[in-house]
């Protein structure tokens, strides 16, 4: 439990109301609970402000509080992120190797490591200091995980893959599976050996049930600070820069290079062998079929700057309306 002043100091905010007010947790504004702190960031939720039962509210504009207690900060969502971390219950991960885990004698296990039940660490692999492997994790031959990483249960990391410090990988994800590479002659598909690797940088988070393929000859690379949602697929030899955000069901085809701080909304896809510039943003279901410069927002299939796509959508809607009007006129004229 914290006082309102303690939480305000944590986020660099200004207290409105009783600074000694006790806060026992956090809650959603529309489902506010007594004794908790909530926040207002999205204007859509302003309608819940008056009726919430939360004891205090994080806001950007103190006038919204009226007579209620709260904390005024520049970015309520970011402030709530920091406060949530204070109330988060830590995972119970006892240091050491579970008796049912199998760790090859040639593997290197640094200090403070936790390896869960039925996990396997194969020959020549390395697990960095204070890293946690959940149950049923497979770490392949010669693969390495850095320090302070968290690998959740049922993650499979193939051989010769390299994962940086403070990485988080959620359950069901596979790192280092073969890329989809075949040469066809006649009616036979000949598999291309996938002899490259996967290199994942520091502070990367990979959601559940993602697939990151190893390179064919070179490496598949995920830059520092990049975050994946669930169900993301990264094909062989893809290069993704620093600080990118990829949401659910995004797929990046082979050998594409993506710059730093790009954003891909749900179900966006990129064709192979393309280059995307820094800070490009792609709306949901966007299909990228050619290389595109950074610093712009794209939408549609094929991807266009979003203003152009919106104009095209508007014209299409007008055409549909005109078509319906013509049908009515034809019916009147010929009936």
Catalytic residues: 236
Task: Write down the residue that tokens 């359950």 correspond to.
Answer: 171
Contact (Cβ atoms closer than 8 angstroms) between residue 126 and residue 111: no
- CA 297 to chain centroid: 19
- Please state, in angstroms and rounded to a whole number, the distance separating the CA atoms of residues 40 and 18: 19
Task: Write down the residue that tokens 């692999």 correspond to.
Answer: 125
From the list 53, 68, 70, 54, the residue with the least C-alpha distance to 7 is 70
Helix axes 76-87, 4-11, angle to 10 degrees: 120
- Please state, in angstroms and rounded to a whole number, the distance separating the CA atoms of residues 119 and 103: 8
Distances (CA, A) of 254 to 121, 213, 232, 270, 303: 29, 9, 14, 9, 18
11 CB neighbour count, 10 Å cutoff: 18
DSSP line for 62-84: GGGGTTSEEEE-S-HHHHHHHHH
DSSP label at residue 86: H
């Amino acid at each position: 439990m914290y006082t309102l002043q303690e939480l305000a100091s944590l986020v660099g905010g200004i207290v409105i109301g009783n600074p000694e007010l006790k806060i026992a947790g956090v809650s959603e504004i529309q489902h506010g609970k007594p004794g908790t702190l909530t926040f207002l960031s999205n204007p859509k939720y302003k309608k819940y402000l008056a009726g919430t039962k939360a004891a205090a509210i994080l806001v950007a504009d103190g006038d919204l509080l009226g007579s209620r207690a709260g904390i005024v900060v520049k970015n309520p969502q970011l402030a709530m992120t920091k406060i949530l971390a204070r109330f988060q219950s830590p995972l119970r991960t006892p240091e050491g190797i579970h008796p049912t885990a199998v760790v090859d004698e040639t593997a290197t296990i640094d200090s403070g490591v936790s390896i869960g039940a039925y996990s396997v660490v194969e020959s020549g692999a390395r697990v960095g200091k204070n890293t946690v492997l959940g149950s049923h994790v497979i770490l392949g031959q010669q693969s390495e995980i850095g320090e302070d990483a968290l690998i959740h249960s049922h993650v499979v990391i193939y051989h010769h893959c390299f994962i940086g410090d403070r990485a988080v990988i959620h359950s069901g994800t596979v790192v280092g599976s073969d890329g989809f590479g075949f040469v066809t002659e006649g009616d036979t598909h000949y598999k291309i050996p996938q002899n490259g690797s996967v290199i994942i940088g520091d502070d990367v988070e990979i959601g559940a049930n993602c697939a990151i393929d190893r390179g064919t000859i070179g490496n598949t690379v995920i830059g520092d600070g990049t975050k994946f949602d669930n169900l993301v697929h990264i094909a062989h030899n893809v290069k993704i820069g620093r600080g990118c955000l990829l949401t659910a069901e995004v797929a990046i085809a082979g050998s594409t290079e993506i710059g730093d701080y790009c954003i891909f909304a749900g179900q966006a896809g990129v064709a192979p062998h393309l280059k995307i510039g820094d800070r490009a943003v792609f709306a949901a279901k966007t299909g990228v079929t050619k290389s595109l410069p950074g610093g712009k927002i794209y939408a549609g299939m094929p991807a266009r700057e979003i203003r152009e796509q919106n104009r095209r959508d508007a014209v299409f809607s007008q055409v549909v309306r005109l078509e319906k009007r013509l049908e009515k006129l034809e019916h009147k004229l010929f009936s």
